Structure 1
Amino acid sequence: MILAVYLVLIAAAVAAALVAGGDLTMSAAIAVQGRWLLTAAAVAFAIAVLWMTVVVHSWVITRPESAGVGTKLAGGTLVVALCLMIAAPAGAVMYATYTTHDAISSVFGPEPDDPHGELASRWGDDQARVNVLLIGGDSGSNRYGMRTDSMMVASIDIEYGDVVLIGIPRNLENAQFPKGTALAQRFPPPHGFNDLLNEVYQTVAENPRELAFDPTAKDPAADTLKGVIAHLLDIDLDYYALVDMKGFEGLIDAIGGIRVHIDKPIPYGQRGDILEPGDRVLTGNEALWYGRSRVNSDDYTRMGRQGCLIKYVAEQAEPAKILTSFQSLAGAAKQTLRTDIPASRLPAFVALADRVKNEGEMRTFQLSPPQVNTAYPDWKEIQRLVSDAIQEQEGQQGKQGPDTAKGTPKDASSPVPSVGPSGEKQEGGQGVGPAHQDDSQVGESTEWQEHPGQSSPSPTTPGRQVGDAAASLDTLCP
């Protein structure tokens, strides 16, 4: 009877493997669902117990009655060894599923009311896009709190898998808050927030009870920043995903590094290291500096490289690689990633990520000079630019040809709006006054900074904004 049950379980496992084996997206979707993880742990435990029962029972009914002490000791040792051989892989499976389930429970947001379980299977019938705020924090042992130096909105078309990445400068000033909120009362219009946009998170984190939009949220500061940026850009933000930039190393290392193309040397680290030009496979630490370095550069070029990193990860994070590295990924994510995406949404996101990789086009638009004056932002103009970037991509869907499928060529030019009236603060290296500059930027400038009003900019750094329309990451990030 025990052997029959065991054989039934084996047959069921083989059938499941055949069904999911040809569809890695399905396998990944199953792997991120808590109920399947717990089921896998329970099945592994049941199989181990059943098989060990078979081994022990077989020894009991077959051992010689008149066997000597040596024979009994040898037989017992063999039984124990066989049981350990069965228990070891089962224990590994149970540990891996527990680790993954624990990471998913820690990282992802609370489940909404969904009695029919529809969130796990599909997007809403009336939902055309899903918008996610991607946040990179700079917390570390050598600094207080966390600044959100990397902020992007990923607007993803559900049907086509097309993506528009909206790069948001960390140094936007005079952020305005929704009427009636505690932030709006503390920092009223017209001046608004008295610091850079990247300080909103820490400001709320220091006093979430009074300033957070929802003090009961899993991360009140991140939830509030999502609401603030949604208000500033006049866009519905469905979710946020926050990753500590230092912990970003672990995520990249867990998938075996990331391939990038570097046009010019990128200094990084504290010892004068250099990321040399060419096609390279970056480690987690090197990828971190690729996305963070501003030496001989500026915030806006760095924003472009961060957009390129997202493109490279989206292209190279194969489902098979993710599945084989799932445990290390889960451990790294638990330490560095926070999001309000509920775990029940993960299968829908896995399927959408597959569509983005295989069918979609990734475009980027940076809210940077000369399109945007970061010292005196025109929020209505910013909202128009964001809307135009998304609408332009939607207008090309289903009818892309050779000239439109991959966006704006590198050498394309387009009219560039003025950066502001005469007499206002100059953009300079950071687009802000000296009080907001850091040591890495003092005395540095680029051609764009010297000529912010030029009519035909042609930056050469990867991902740097060209013109006032969203450009394809395929052309900006070789």
Structure 2
Amino acid sequence: MTKRAWWLVGLNILVPGSAQVLAGSRRAGRFGLGATLVLWVLVVVGIVMAIVARGTLISIFTNTIVLSVLVVALLFYAVLWLSLTLDTLRLIRLVRVAPSARGFVAGLSVVALALVSGTAAYGAVSVTAGIGLLDSVFAERASEPPIDGRYNILLLGGDAGPDRDGLRPDSISVASVDAETGEVVLLGVPRNLEQVPFSDGSPLYTRFPDGYDCGSNCLIDYLYSYATVFHPELYPDAEDQNSNPGIEAMRDAVEGVLGITLQYYVLIDMQGFADLIDALGGIDITVEDRVPIGANENLDGTHAEPVGYIEAGEQHMDGRRALAYARSRYATTDYARMERQRQVQEAILAQASPANVLTHFTDIARAGAQVVRTDIPKQMLSYFVQLGEKSQDHEVVSHDFVPPEIDPEDPDYELIRQTVQDLIAPKDEG
């Protein structure tokens, strides 16, 4: 009887339904076997598509209807495998198994139950979290075509700290991506840029036809609050486009600075970075110089004493420490702070390996929905994922428009625009 028990448990693990065909209800067993074979076929098809048609596979699994069907299917398999495992225990007749083996047989059955039903149930929970992430982050809107063979995406690193009226973008950059090769040019715009020009098609042009020019009170990053808090009527349709007036003002400003059209934006809220980093298990950063923690600026311009330091060298940071590293202003420049924020963003991408994302997917999805906002349509997600894969074959070209090349108080916008065109020009023209 003990040998029979081992065989039935093993068969139930390897081929759910086979134990019932051999020793129980053949009708239930055939149903279980059929369902198992269907799943195996789908898995094989998925593996083949991942190799030869990855774009199609990604398109399928970024469709919320398909994902909803997948949730139902996973729950079905969880219940089916639970039923088959419990029925296998009944067929084993533990009381007739040798006492020395009884505990091992029961334990193996429980492990099998956790492996098959537990995995399916966890998959259903994870897919549900993925649906929530897609619905909350990505837009329901028509796709934009590439312009001159490129997609230009505005990247904003926003900070809504307690000392601010709403969110203010501290990190402003543009990723210009070749629509065919995936080659990326990353353009950095300093947040303290003055005299920002606007095209005559921008709502801000009617208010600032000669540029956003009133000295240090008119820095480019102030435009976010200007439009969001004080003049949302300038962009009445922004919310319908999965944006807001502040983001649209920043889009118009950066288009005026760089002389290119920005099809999409991605806003990353630094305030929510901590949760995302913790969900990933922390990040690794090489700290170039010692960075103080908690040295906040007082009303008179002085700084409080630091409560601690992040030392130079290789550091593994949790969310709270990484946020302090990205935000620190004490004894540093805006440009150094921009670089630290970019370091944090790159470290998050490096930590987001497939295995790590899969292991912590529900926490990451929950945190990501709070951290990221974009107007990239859902149907473009698979396309950009494929472009991202292509970009791995090319070195990212980065260029920051900072001193000494550009004086933020008196920028040479013609030089900036010409530099942009030189950087994004096709190689055979450059």
**Above 0.5 in TM-score?**
yes
1:277 offset after TM fit, Å? 1.5
Query: 1:389 corresponds to which residue?
Result: 423
When residues 56 and 389 of structure 1 are mapped into structure 2, their CA distance, relative to the original with a 3 A threshold, is: closer
| 8 Å contact kept, 1:208–1:220 | no
Which residue of 249, 253, 256 maps to 1:231?
A: 256
Q: Which amino acid aligns with 1:199?
A: Y
Decide which of 12, 20, 29 is 2:41's aligned counterpart: 12
Is residue 282 of structure 2 the alignment partner of residue 257 of structure 1?
yes
* Counterpart selection for 1:278 from 307, 313, 318: 313
**Shift in Å at residue 336 of structure 1?**
1.4
Counterpart of 2:229?
A: 206
SS at 2:160 equivalent: coil
Instruction: Tell me what 2:3 maps to.
Output: none
Per the alignment, residue 141 of structure 2 pairs with 111
Q: Distance in 1 between matches of 2:364 and 2:252?
A: 29
In the alignment, what sits opposite 1:379?
Answer: 413
The share of aligned pairs that are identical, in percent, is 31
Does residue 1:364 correspond to 2:373, yes or no? no
Paired AA for residue 291 in structure 2: I
1:34 aligned partner: 64
Deviation sequence 1:125-164 (CA, Å, 0-9, x none): x863222111011113453211111111112234444322
Identify unmatched segments of 5+ residues in structure 1: 63-80, 114-118, 398-478
Q: Contact 1:136–1:151 at 8 Å: present in 2 too?
A: yes
Q: After TM superposition, give the deviation of residue 340 of structure 1 in Å.
A: 0.6
What's the offset of the Cα at 1:297? 1.3
Per-residue CA deviations over 1:11-61 (Å, capped at 9, x if unaligned) read 23442464367799778776544344223202112324445666799999x
How far did 1:167 drift? 1.1
For the residue of structure 2 that corresponds to 1:241, the secondary structure is strand
Which residue matches 1:338? Answer: 373
**Distance in 1 between the 2:85 and 2:339 partners?**
61
Which amino acid in structure 2 is aligned with residue 259 of structure 1? D
Partners of 1:248 and 1:288 within 8 A in 2: yes
Q: Are 1:248 and 2:282 an aligned pair?
A: no
Answer whether contact 2:204 2:249 (CA < 8 A) is retained: no
Relative distance call for 1:396 and 1:262 in structure 2 (3 A) is farther
Match runs of 1:463-474 below 5 Å = none
Change (3 A) 1:213 1:23: farther
The code of the aligned residue for 1:2 comes to: F
C-alpha distance in 1 between matches for 2:263 and 2:196: 21
How far off is 1:302 after superposition?
A: 1.9
Q: Which of 208, 220, 244 is the matching residue for 2:244? A: 220
Partner SS state of residue 260, structure 2: coil
Match in the other structure for 1:145: 166
CA contact (8 A) 2:202 2:252 kept: no
Please name the residue that 2:190 is paired with: 169
Report the AA paired with residue 203 of structure 1: Y
What residue in structure 2 maps to residue 101 of structure 1? Answer: 131
1:155 partner SS = strand
TM-score of the superposition, structure 2-length normalised? 0.73
1:110–1:342 contact (8 Å) kept in structure 2: yes
Count of aligned pairs: 369
Q: Which moved more, 1:17-26 or 1:86-95?
A: 17-26
CA shift for structure 1 position 185 = 2.0
Instruction: Measure, in 2, the Cα distance between the counterparts of 1:290 and 1:25.
Output: 37
Equivalent-residue separation in structure 2 for 1:293 and 1:333 (angstroms) = 23
1:76 aligned partner: none
CA change 1:348–1:128 in 2 (3 A) is: same
Deviation at 1:244, TM superposition (A): 0.8
**Structure having the larger proportion of residues in helix:** 2
